[in-house]
Structure 1
Amino acid sequence: MSAEERQAARGMMQKSEVGRSPKEQRAGFDELFANRPLGDDVTLAERTIGGVPALDVRVEGADAAGVILYLHGGGYVIGSARTGANLAAPLSRRSGVPAVSLEYRLAPEHPFPAGIHDALAAYRELADQQVVIAGDSAGGGLALATLIAARAEGLPMPAGVVLFSPWTDVALTGPSIDARSDYDPLFSRAAMEESAELYLGGADPRNELASPVLADLKGLPPLLVQVGTAEVLLDDSLRLVARAAEQEVDVSLDVIAGAPHVFQYFAGLLPEADEALDHAATFIKNRLAATRTRSGAAG
């Protein structure tokens, strides 16, 4: 990515406004992302998983064994299964693995831990299959929280987890929250504080399910984390990876210099976005293959 391309990508983003109602935020987000073309090879079909609404993201030819459970971003306040399909579809296309995008409940109408309950219910229904969980931003934090909740319930772990710019610390204790604020074209501490307050509804931000970077990560499946340096959430990824490694969790990290939050949305425009999705797809295929090999050996 050239310096010009990085600047162009950041220039396509607008700093989040503070003080807008959730309704206004959702309308603006949907205007940008809820109708993006997914490709002529993609069909969306409504379904429920564990009683939670979802979209089957059906990509022609993506019929390999397993499933990608995708959790969309949006600060736990905005976004939808349809906006999540914007990243679930290319992951499915590149990996050949079917995907489903979850319509988990949002704050402030349904504050913490409602979204976790929904994601766990969906995962519980899928857990007898070979599953990879993927998510971006708040969806990345939700993916980790779902793993921790599933582990507490004694459910089997998924084959792996893909996290794009995950928000793992709603207590906002990472140094990059302030240090990267002028560099980040999208978020500021004030914007993150607003979303965190709406999500928590008075709950402790240091609860391990709210801020899974603070959790015991032992026993979690392999993680792939991708993040750009032009984002206030940089340290949410760096600290997560360090903590996972210290606790003997297999973890891979891709850091893209100058890339903004969830830069994978720029696939087709930025080579690094396509490369990141390719790497994520390879990770998904490899993790599912490894799980099948172990299951075959155990059988």
Structure 2
Amino acid sequence: MEEHAVTDHERALKEIDAIRKLLSSKPRPVGWLERRERLDEVGAVWPVADDIECESVDCDGVRGELSIAPGSETDRVLLYFHGGGYCSGSIKSHRRLVTEAGRAARMRTLAIDYRRAPEHPFPAQHEDAITAWHFLRRQGIAAERIALGGDSAGGNLALSLINRLRAVGEPLPSCAWLISPWTDLTMSGSTLSSKDAIDPIIHKTYLDELADAYVPAGIKRLEPQISPLFAELRGFPPLLIQVGSAETLLSDATRLAEAAGVADVDVRLEIWPHMIHAWPVWNAALDDGRRALSAAGAFMRDVLR
């Protein structure tokens, strides 16, 4: 009898099911410290590749980490903001993702450990982002040789940084790469309910808790610096948005792509079947994670060419 060949679809389902089991292998943490420790744990299951060079750096008071893979160009930089709802996530949890993204884009990376809520609510994260940007610029890196990247809340932060730079007339980065971006803190997206049963990570009650910790009382969540979905996007650099079909934040990504398109922004939207929130974090064991990074690397190389 002829042996059944495993299709790409079957392999993708098998691999993402293994990641789902990893995420559910322990009870969902409750406190901020426990959540941070758990995200660091599941994000760092697979270590950085042996040929990657990492170096801690002080970005004018903001902790960062530079990385470079063999063959990368040192005068081009991916400035990356990790996800975690502004309350968790770190350089450690996203190190494998960031370093492999740098390899795919053939450029150096700078990952930032911005301050986190609730200890440091808005706008602390935005101040750290602009500080890191100005640090790179003072190192002689031209704005058009910097790509921004971020997943989830990190995608929100990348968009908000572009909005802030444009508002004061500073040169903008070459492009932005956004994974599963959290763009609407009013939580009005339809997939928050329609995808709730299949998303193993993000649920509306969880997002409400994160937003309460991050946004100070008296600040409206419709404000563009809080919810960049509602920003005026005209004049933004090219955007690549990658999102999974099994995410409650799917509509945060699709509505952003639509708004960018209406504003004549060069925007590319990729919806990856069966993938969950920020799936490229687990690229070491997930072919679709590696493929997503390869696509992002090609996008950044093309824009910076």
- If the length of structure 2 is used for normalisation, what is the TM-score? 0.89
2:101 is aligned, of 52, 70, 91, to 91
Quote the offset at 1:265 in angstroms.
2.2
Moved more, 29-38 or 244-253: 29-38
Which amino acid in structure 2 is aligned with residue 111 of structure 1? P
Deviation per CA, 1:114-166: give whole Å up to 9, x if none.
10111012112324421000011110111001111111121111011100111
Q: In structure 1, how many angstroms separate the alpha carbons of the residues matched to 2:45 and 2:25?
A: 21
2:22 is aligned, of 12, 30, 45, to 12
Q: In structure 2, how many angstroms separate the alpha carbons of the residues matched to 1:53 and 1:278?
A: 27
Residue matched to 1:292: none
Residue matched to 1:276: 292
Quote the offset at 1:281 in angstroms.
0.4
Asked if 1:48 corresponds to 2:58, the answer is yes
Residue matched to 1:62: 72
Percent identity over the alignment is: 34
2:228 is aligned, of 194, 212, 215, to 212
- The answer (yes or no) to whether the contact 2:68–2:107 under 8 Å persists in 1 is no
Moved more, 198-207 or 107-116: 198-207
Asked if 1:135 corresponds to 2:150, the answer is yes
- Which structure 2 residues correspond to residues 230-249 of structure 1 after superposition, within 5 A? 230-249=246-265
Residue matched to 1:174: 189
Which amino acid in structure 1 is aligned with residue 157 of structure 2? L
RMSD of equivalent CA atoms: 2.0
Q: In structure 2, how many angstroms separate the alpha carbons of the residues matched to 1:218 and 1:75?
A: 26
Residue matched to 1:199: 214
- The answer (yes or no) to whether the contact 1:180–1:232 under 8 Å persists in 2 is yes
- The answer (yes or no) to whether the contact 1:17–1:191 under 8 Å persists in 2 is no
Quote the offset at 1:7 in angstroms.
3.7
Residue matched to 2:172: 157
Q: Report the 3-state secondary structure (helix = DSSP H, G, I; strand = E; otherwise coil) of the residue aligned with 2:243.
A: strand
Quote the offset at 1:90 in angstroms.
0.4
Q: Report the 3-state secondary structure (helix = DSSP H, G, I; strand = E; otherwise coil) of the residue aligned with 1:98.
A: strand
- If the length of structure 1 is used for normalisation, what is the TM-score? 0.91
Quote the offset at 1:196 in angstroms.
1.0
Deviation per CA, 1:154-194: give whole Å up to 9, x if none.
11110111001111111111111111111111121111111
Please list every run of 5 or more consecutive structure 1 residues that lacks an aligned counterpart in the other structure: 290-299
Q: In structure 2, how many angstroms separate the alpha carbons of the residues matched to 1:146 and 1:35?
A: 30
Aligned residue pairs, count: 289
Cα 1:81–1:265 change in 2 (3 A) is closer
- The answer (yes or no) to whether the contact 2:244–2:272 under 8 Å persists in 1 is yes
Residue matched to 2:42: 32
- The answer (yes or no) to whether the contact 1:72–1:139 under 8 Å persists in 2 is yes
